[in-house]
């Protein structure tokens, strides 16, 4: 029996810090506008930190949508594959007191329960001030990030259905 892989789509970030909440905004949009097959689970991970590990450990493939600290144009999109994520060379932590997603993934690997494949779709933030809502550069990238995610899912023969179309 050929079982479909368990796929997780995780959006992380703090909605109270402007662009830091980008991943959460994308997840909310996906939940409102699309229906996914039963083997795909979406999660607004917010700032749950280590509490995300049960969701992560239950997945075969994990897509993470987040902001990334890079010296690049605000709103620019950066993709990191499994090798990049496992090497730990990505800086996703925007706040010094935040438990970083990479540390959580390291803990999952230590427990030998990490996903077989992890991919990150990230954007460079423009505004991390205390405010609700995305800056214009990031608001304009939401559709592109969703399109990139869908391209990756279609390759895996997962086709989300639009609820609005």
Q: Is residue 162 part of a domain?
A: no
Quickly state the pLDDT bin for 50 (edges 50, 70, 90).
confident
Please report, for the domain that includes residue 142, its CATH number.
Answer: 3.40.50.1450
Q: What is the mean pLDDT of residues 79-91?
A: 75
pLDDT, tens digit, 9 for 90 and up, residues 7-49: 999 999 999 999 999 999 999 999 999 999 999 999 999 887 7
Structural contact between residues 33 and 164, judged by C-beta atoms closer than 8 angstroms: yes
Where are the alpha helices (H) located in the chain, listed in sequence order?
Answer: 22-33, 53-57, 82-87, 101-110, 136-139, 142-155
Q: How many domains does the chain have?
A: 1
Give the predicted TM-score (pTM) of the model. Answer: 0.89
Structural contact between residues 118 and 85, judged by C-beta atoms closer than 8 angstroms: yes
Q: Is residue 14 part of a domain?
A: yes
Q: What is the mean pLDDT of residues 124-143?
A: 95
Q: What is the mean pLDDT of residues 128-135?
A: 94
> Comparing 56-60, 76-80, 103-107, 130-134, which segment has the lowest mean pLDDT?
103-107
Domain that holds residue 95: 7-157
Q: Is residue 2 part of a domain?
A: no
Q: Is residue 165 part of a domain?
A: no
């Amino acid at each position: 029996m050929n079982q479909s892989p368990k796929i997780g789509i995780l959006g992380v970030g703090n909605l109270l810090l402007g662009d830091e909440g980008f991943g959460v905004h994308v997840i909310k949009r996906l939940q409102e506008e699309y229906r996914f097959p039963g083997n795909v689970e979406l999660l607004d991970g917010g700032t749950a930190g280590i509490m995300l590990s049960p969701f992560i450990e239950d997945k075969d493939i994990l897509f993470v949508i987040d902001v990334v600290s890079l010296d690049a144009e605000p709103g620019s999109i950066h993709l990191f594959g499994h090798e990049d994520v496992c090497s730990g060379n990505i800086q996703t932590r925007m706040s010094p007191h935040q438990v970083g997603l990479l540390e959580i993934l390291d803990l999952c690997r230590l427990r030998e329960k990490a996903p077989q494949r992890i991919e990150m779709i990230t954007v460079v933030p423009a505004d991390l001030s205390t405010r609700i809502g995305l800056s214009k550069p990031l608001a304009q990238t939401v559709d592109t990030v969703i399109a990139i995610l869908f391209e990756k899912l279609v390759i895996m023969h997962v086709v989300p259905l639009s609820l609005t179309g």
